[in-house]
A and B are shown apart, each in its own frame.
Chain A
């Protein structure tokens, strides 16, 4: 048998043309293509088959390799993205190097995009001829293995991050959970009830938060942010920056005696957790069920930071524990992890951006998130729904799609608003007996038990008006509108414009990417959509993977999502991270670039053009060096290197020139 790996052996090429059922055969004359291929130089055998990717199809290749001593294989079928691994496997099982294969995409590039059979067949012949020319130069390559560190970093401690962290930690692997706020819990911690079951959000969330805080396999860092990420799949080096909370976390036991003792007897600063609906002190616990149970100091509010003349009653109250440290500074910690789950969540649409609805102008216009706090038993009003003047609303209007499905703001559907609006309608009606009007464009309630919940609301006597609200104003034109907010909307089912006077307006604000999503995207080297949602590798086949190996996404940072979907996705991301860790190593594709050391002139042109910072300048030799583990094989450096001193495996100049010449040669 000729040695396929010996460059001096004349190549013996087999060409295999796939019908792909009728996908290819309907537009390309497959027998003619195979016959043409058989006559090309160095082609020993050329065949056609209905489904080359099937077992019998692969067996055809394997048998020919053995019987005809083939050394190079060309498969003309679908995109290599689809079946390159399949056919490489066939080569390996027949005993030759996987990279002696060249695929010709006559489906996506030919049959699916052309209608004239004759011309399509001619184009397929050109492409096959190019591949035959190129494959002769293919060199044997080996995949490299890289060890994977089992530790996982989870970024963002909302319900998605919490679920992912717990799942991984329960499997015995160590998790670092980094949260930028002083407590984990995310948006879910703000809610009273969850749709459609009306489960108490705290009852289902806080046990999970506590579990995170006490789990031996979870290192929880709140009030901290990821500052830098270096490395590659299995071997990421991550810098985490701890913001100063002016409390020594290890010493604070969460007794809150310091909060009691603060020189301010009442809260004076907007309480972030209650969205400004209540006040807090300069030293505070974000909310009673916060995890970790560690207070923090707001240096903008604390007298000691401003004048250094405070009596420091908090320090007195803390006493021997000595947990308060006014001198604390930001610190940075570096960790090694094998994979990263990004679950950084969303922000809600800033309601004042839609000026027609009077948010920020009329005090009784609330966002849905504010109302979540009002209906929450541990919220600023202990669950009582009262207006800012303390009265209970008798008429409430809930406006859907504020900052969603709107060409002036966000075009997408935020997916959760219909359901949470129904939930709020139910809770408001239950607690106050008010008449509740929902203004909607379309009711979107797909999901288990969701449509049933909608039905229930219809039975409960909540009003539904189909139409986008034009404006909210306080100009009465009828005595019944005096002192009320008037919602003006076209009732598109009834066919006229309605004016509904209400005491309270709830704006169902949509979901948006976090304002720093683009910075976070760059930090983790992942992609995001035009809107700023993080992009999955494939919506169906790799929904929690990204284009950076070892970085996964979960929850609403990928797109609007409700709690069940976020948790499901978090579980999927955790499974991916665990699968990676349990594989112990990854195989890296060998189509990386390398510097021909003797040839490199050290001109440094390649250093900054590498999008993966895989190229370094070695001072001792004054030459560039590619870290082949970081290299993704994009080819930018090989194209740019002005002295031709960077080569890329499988894409060497000569291979490409042969392919081009094969393509241009007259048949």
Chain B
């Protein structure tokens, strides 16, 4: 009789689906995973139900890869359920890891979001002024929608998390390495981010082109300039967050001639990615004059959304005051 294969699961919460795509992107390597493990739960691809998971013994899943941030009561329940059933719970992708792009909703109150979505959006037609949250009685009994909570949270703000796989979405190499590591005999230290603990500049193909001193009179957006494909993007005035972002993606965006936006989060020694990136970028401003500095800073249209694009819920500031 063959030894039982370890069980793994994939789940999604507040996410765009890109992380599911990333799992599929692993392509042929997924076969190695399949050969090594049984996938017991993967709503996007396999027809297992929540009740199937509920019936599994606690701790019987070796590892659950959960992507997406936590916003609704249903997501919180599923996170709790999978936590109980899994030996390792892995936060997969930026949203689960740090709160991600959905986390930028923490700059707005719950009420203003519902108002915008159900009433104010130009594409919304809602003459009956229907709002979520009203119980509905039909032949199955009373039905309710999951509760839309006040704030977006990262997975580890809801349940204990064992490991993190960073990226938006995580790159195939990182995913494969992470899965095989967890299936291997020497699991990494609990709480580890399963990617190199250094900044992206380390693996950036343009590293050598970065000058010792960068002095900027304005920041540029990619659509505003002809980007030199060989030169450091920061030196060209583009807001590349590579210096403040964890490596591991092999600088895919830079390879595509676009600046790093910081999706892998900060290296492990940094508590606050946004603040760190901000202070590093601020040091490049070439002026001693306050009003000129204001002008230069005005060339960054959305500083909060730029520096905290992926990390707002997990950051020290969490949310806008009052949210």
- B269 x A617 contact (CB < 8 A): no
| Residues of chain B contacted by A278 (CB below 8 angstroms) | none
What separation, in Å, do the CA atoms of A596 and B200 have in the docked complex?
A: 16
Q: Is the pair B197, A599 in contact by a Cβ cutoff of 8 Å?
A: yes
Distance (Å) between the CB of B217 and the closest chain A CB? 15
**Per-residue A-contact encoding for B258-275, CB less than 8 Å = 1, 0 else:** 000000001111110000
Structural contact, B271 and A602, CB atoms closer than 8 A? no
> Which residue of the partner chain A has the closest CB to B268?
A644
Interface segment, B115-123, B169-177, B187-195, B242-250?
B242-250
Return chain A residues, CB-CB under 8 Å to B198.
598-601, 643, 645
Q: Judge whether B223 is part of the interface by a CB distance below 8 angstroms.
A: no
A-B contact count (CB 8 A): 78
In the complex, the chain A residue whose C-beta lies closest to that of B207 is A602
Whose C-beta in chain B lies nearest to the C-beta of A639? B279
- Point out the residue from B207, B211, B242, B269 that lies within 8 Å of A644, measured CB to CB: B269
**What residues of B have a CB within 8 angstroms of the CB of A645 in the complex?**
198-199, 267, 269
Task: Identify which of A602, A607, A653 contacts B202 (C-beta below 8 A).
Answer: A602
- Report the interface size class on chain B: 20 to 34
Is residue A609 within 8 Å, beta carbon to beta carbon, of the partner chain?
A: yes
A605 in the interface (beta carbon within 8 A): yes
**A604 contacts the other chain (Cβ, under 8 Å)?**
yes
* A547 contacts partner chain B, Cβ-Cβ < 8 Å: no
**What 0/1 pattern do residues 222 to 261 of A give for CB contact below 8 A with B?**
0000000000000000000000000000000000000000
- A56 CA / B211 CA spacing, docked (Å): 58
The smallest C-beta distance from A608 to any residue of chain B, in angstroms, reads 5
Residue of A600, A602, A607, A653 with highest tally of chain B CB at under 10 A: A602
Given known A599-B267, A602-B202, contact A608–B213 (CB-CB < 8 A): yes
- Decide: A641 near B280, CB < 8 A? Known: A599-B267, A601-B199, A603-B210: yes
User: A617 touches which one: B197, B212, B267 (CB < 8 A)?
Assistant: B212
- Residues on the B chain within 8 Å of A644, using CB: 266-271, 276
Q: Any chain B CB within 8 A of the CB of A145? A: no
B19 within 8 A of A: no
Chain A residues lying within 8 Å of B200, measured Cβ to Cβ, are 601
State whether A603 touches B199 (Cβ < 8 A).
yes
Counting CB contacts under 8 A, is A305 at the interface? Answer: no
Tell me the nearest residue of chain B to A616, going by C-beta.
Answer: B212
* Residue in chain A with minimal CB distance to B215: A608
Q: How far is the CA of A233 from the CA of B226 in the complex (A)?
A: 48
Scan residues 605-624 of chain A and give those whose CB is less than 8 A from a CB of chain B. Answer: 605, 607-609, 617, 622
Which residues of A sit under 8 angstroms from B280, Cβ to Cβ? 603, 605, 640-642
The answer to whether the Cβ of A657 comes within 8 Å of any Cβ in the partner chain is: yes
User: Smallest CB–CB gap between B302 and chain A, Å?
Assistant: 19
Residues of A within 8 A of B244 (CB): 642-643
Distance from B277 Cβ to chain A, minimum over Cβ atoms (Å): 6
Interchain CB contact under 8 A, B283 and A599: no
For B271, give the chain A residue with the smallest CB separation.
A653
The count of chain A contact residues (Cβ–Cβ below 8 Å) is 23
Residues of A within 8 A of B268 (CB): 644
Q: Which of A608, A643, A657 contacts B269 (CB 8 A)?
A: A643
Whole-angstrom CA separation of A609 from B283 in the bound complex: 7
Query: Which residues on the B side are within 8 Å of A603 (C-beta)?
Result: 199, 201, 210, 242-243, 280
Q: Which of A249-292 contact B (CB under 8 A)?
A: none
Q: Could you tell me which residues of chain A, from 578 to 605, have a CB within 8 Å of some CB in chain B?
A: 596, 598-605
Judging by beta carbons under 8 Å apart, are B212 and A601 in contact? no
Q: How far is the CA of A601 from the CA of B198 in the complex (A)?
A: 6
Distance of A199 from chain B, by nearest CB (Å): 48
In the docked arrangement, what's the CA distance between A600 and B243, Å? Answer: 10
Bound complex: CA of A183 vs CA of B192, how far in Å? 70
- Whether A601 and B197, one on each chain, are in contact in the complex, defined by CB atoms closer than 8 angstroms, is no
- Minimum Cβ distance to chain A for residue B257 (Å): 19
A601–B266 CB distance below 8 A: no
> When chains A and B are docked, how far (Å) is the Cα of A640 from the Cα of B285?
13
Q: CB-CB < 8 A to A642: which residues of B?
A: 199, 241, 243-244, 270, 276-277, 279-280
Beta-carbon nearest neighbor of B275 in chain A: A639
- Please state if A643 and B271 are interface contacts (CB–CB under 8 Å): no
User: For residues 231 through 256 of chain B, which have their beta carbon under 8 Å from a beta carbon of chain A?
Assistant: 241-244, 247
Expressed in whole angstroms, the minimum distance between the Cβ of A635 and any Cβ of chain B is 11
A643 to B241, CA, bound (A): 10
Which of these, B207, B212, B242, B270, contacts A622 with CB under 8 Å?
B207
B197 to chain A: which residues have CB within 8 Å?
Answer: 599
CA gap between A642 and B241 in the complex, in Å: 9
Contacts of A657 in B (CB 8 A): 271
Which residues A115-135 have CB closer than 8 A to chain B?
none
Asked whether A601 and B243 contact (CB < 8 A) given A596-B269, A645-B269, the answer is yes
Task: Please report the C-alpha to C-alpha distance between residue A617 and residue B210 in the assembled complex, in whole angstroms.
Answer: 12
Bound together, the chains give a CA A622 to CA B212 distance in angstroms of 12
A605 with B202: CB separation less than 8 A? no
Chain A nearest Cβ from B143, distance in angstroms: 42
> Hey, which chain A residues are within 8 Å of B271, CB to CB?
644, 653, 657
Is B266 within 8 A of A604, CB to CB?
no
Q: For A640, what are the chain B residues with a Cβ–Cβ distance below 8 Å?
A: 279-280, 283
Identify the interface centre among B247, B271, B280: most chain A CB within 10 Å of its CB: B280
Contact (Cβ within 8 A) A605 B247: no
- Which A residues touch B243, using CB under 8 A? 601, 603, 605, 642-643
Q: How far is the CB of A3 from chain B (nearest CB, A)?
A: 26
Q: With a CB–CB cut-off of 8 A, which chain A residues contact B213?
A: 607-608
Rounded to whole Å, the gap between the CB of A530 and the closest CB of chain B is: 16
Question: How far apart are A273's CB and chain B's nearest CB, in angstroms?
Answer: 40
Shortest distance in angstroms between B250's beta carbon and chain A's nearest beta carbon?
A: 14
In angstroms, Cα B202 to Cα A657, docked, is 28
Please indicate the chain B residues that have their CB under 8 angstroms from the CB of A604 in the complex.
Answer: 210-212
A645 to B202, CA, bound (A): 12
Q: How far is the CA of A600 from the CA of B213 in the complex (A)?
A: 17
| Closest-CB distance, A470 to chain B (whole angstroms) | 39
Q: How far is the CB of B258 from chain A (nearest CB, A)?
A: 18
Most buried by B among A596, A603, A641, A642: A642
> Could you mark each residue 454-468 of chain A with 1 if its beta carbon is under 8 Å from any beta carbon of chain B, else 0?
000000000000000
Q: Which residues of A contact B207 (CB under 8 A)?
A: 602, 622
Min CB distance, A402 to chain B, in Å? 34
B201 touches A601 (CB 8 A): yes
CA distance A603 to B280 in the complex (A): 10
Q: Which residue of B lies closest to A660 (CB)?
A: B316
B279 touching A643 by the CB < 8 A rule?
Answer: no
The CA of A604 and the CA of B214, in the complex, are separated in Å by: 9
CA A222 to CA B283, docked complex, whole Å: 41
The complex places the Cα of A596 from the Cα of B241 at a distance, in Å, of 20
| Assembly CA distance A592 to B267 (angstroms) | 22
Nearest CB of chain A from residue B261's CB, rounded to whole Å: 14
> Bound complex: CA of A364 vs CA of B210, how far in Å?
64
B284 contact set on A, CB distance < 8 A: 605
Instruction: With both chains docked as a complex, state the minimum distance between the C-beta of A664 and any C-beta of chain B, in angstroms.
Output: 11
Interface string of A633-667 (1 = CB under 8 A from B): 00000011111110000000100010000000000
Contact of B267 among A608, A622, A639, A643 (CB under 8 A): A643
Question: In this complex, what residue of A is CB-closest to B280?
Answer: A642
Tell me, rounded to whole Å, the shortest Cβ–Cβ distance linking A140 to chain B: 21
Contact string against A for B residues 29-47, beta-carbon threshold 8 Å, 1 for contact and 0 otherwise: 0000000000000000000
Whole-angstrom distance between the Cβ of A641 and the nearest chain B Cβ: 7
Contacts of A598 in B (CB 8 A): 198
Output the residue of A596, A603, A609 with the most chain B CB within 10 A. Answer: A603
- Chain B residue contacts of A639, Cβ below 8 A: 279
Taking the closest CB of chain A, its distance from the CB of B198, in whole angstroms, is: 5
Supply 15 A–B pairs (Cβ within 8 Å), ascending by A.
Answer: A599-B198, A601-B199, A603-B199, A603-B201, A603-B242, A603-B243, A605-B243, A605-B280, A622-B207, A639-B279, A641-B280, A642-B270, A642-B279, A643-B267, A643-B276
On A, residues with C-beta under 8 Å from B are 596, 598-605, 607-609, 617, 622, 639-645, 653, 657
Closest 3 CB pairs of A and B: A644-B269, A601-B199, A642-B244
A604-B212, A642-B276 known; 4 new pairs, CB 8 Å cut-off, are: A601-B199, A601-B201, A640-B279, A643-B198
